[in-house]
Amino acid sequence: MTKPVIIAGAGPAGLALAIGLAQTGLRILLVERQEEDMLSDPAFDGREIALTHSSIAALKRLGAWEKIAPGNIHPLAEARVLNGKSPLALSFDAGRRSTAQLGSLVSNCDIRRALFASAIEHSGIELIAGVSVEEVSTSDHAAQVSLSNGAEHVGSLLVAADSRFSTIRGKLGISARMNRLGKSMLVGRVELERHHDNAATEWFDNGQTLALLPLGERQASAVVTLPDGDAERLAAMDPGALGDELTRRFARKFGQMRMLTPMHNYPLTTSYSHRFITKRAALAGDAAVGMHPVTAHGFNLGIAGTERLARLVAAGCRLHGDPGHPVTLRRYEAGHRAATWPLYAATNAIVGLYTDDRAPGRLARGLGLRAARLAPARKAVSKLLMQGA
């Protein structure tokens, strides 16, 4: 019997890859440190993921999309970008495409729940939950892992999908560019007095970045990015005071806001691994590329990468009879780098420009916003928002 592919981490990327590989007939060993009940019914974590049409198509192929309750899928018709007190708003929509929306918003916990439900339907996936991968070693012929329960397993390929803070990446000898931003993103659900028109609003204000993501009738996800200490203070406020504080910060654009959930606090770190592969091992999802959430592409790039890897591994099995063949891994690395690096660099440039509150920075982003209002630029951004890389 051929050795299994070992995947460390059953987050969205690890689950998507496990299903994609199992669909090609491979055996998978999926190791996750969280307990199984947390995987089958993950708690709400504040994240609402803006899914591109490509990601929705991928979730359909993985058998996960139909497992998400239709009432938990929220249309995203338009995205608006505001700059400080400027009355200029940059608007992106689906244009004349057959589909009337840019994409859909779905909670991260609903995506994880659906992917997990699909994964456990595959007899080729063996899940080891409540156990972490502790040590790894790879050679020309095999990848070996030691688990926290003392077990050892040997595979034909090891994929680390263990988050942007991946420890396995380091144990494989791969370093990463880590960028701790000193800012945190607070996310939570609010009820609004005024309707949001199914439009996402991103507002680069002085000293803070705000976003409002439309969910249901008068509900939305409020996203507030602040220096770490300020974010901690806001997260600790009682719900009534926090609702008033958000109403004030959003300048009553949506009327009075009322908290529906606590705000979850994410200190922001971006990461880009210097390599995505080594002998009989590859990095997937955030372990390869940890995007800044502002352009909403982390999950979208991650799932595109896992589809790429599953496709190449299947082709490698047909050609070489080996899931971890070096040619397969090199092709994955080249393809994933080409798909991610331009977006990663562009996102960081946007973050730098739009969070620079000094006068030249403010002027540059005002000019940038005017240039981006030109039709070709708007069309290009809309396409990116809908399809991803």
For ligand FAD, give the closer residue by CB, 322 or 382: 382
For ligand FAD, give the closer residue by CB, 163 or 362: 163
Contact between 17 and ligand FAD by CB under 6 A: the answer reads: no
By CB under 6 A, how many residues form the interface with ligand FAD? 34
Looking at 221, 265, 300, 355, which residue binds ligand FAD (CB under 6 A)?
A: 300
For ligand FAD, give the closer residue by CB, 196 or 297: 297
For ligand FAD, give the closer residue by CB, 39 or 317: 39
Contact between 42 and ligand FAD by CB under 6 A: the answer reads: no
The residue nearest ligand FAD at its CB is 11
Contact between 138 and ligand FAD by CB under 6 A: the answer reads: no
Contact between 243 and ligand FAD by CB under 6 A: the answer reads: no
Distance, CA of 265 to chain centre: 16
Contact between 185 and ligand FAD by CB under 6 A: the answer reads: yes
Contact between 161 and ligand FAD by CB under 6 A: the answer reads: yes
- Rule CB under 6 A: which of 56-115 touch ligand FAD? 108
Contact between 286 and ligand FAD by CB under 6 A: the answer reads: yes
Contacts to ligand FAD by CB under 6 A: 8-14, 31-34, 47, 49-50, 108, 132-133, 161-163, 167-168, 185, 187, 266, 285-286, 293, 296-300, 302
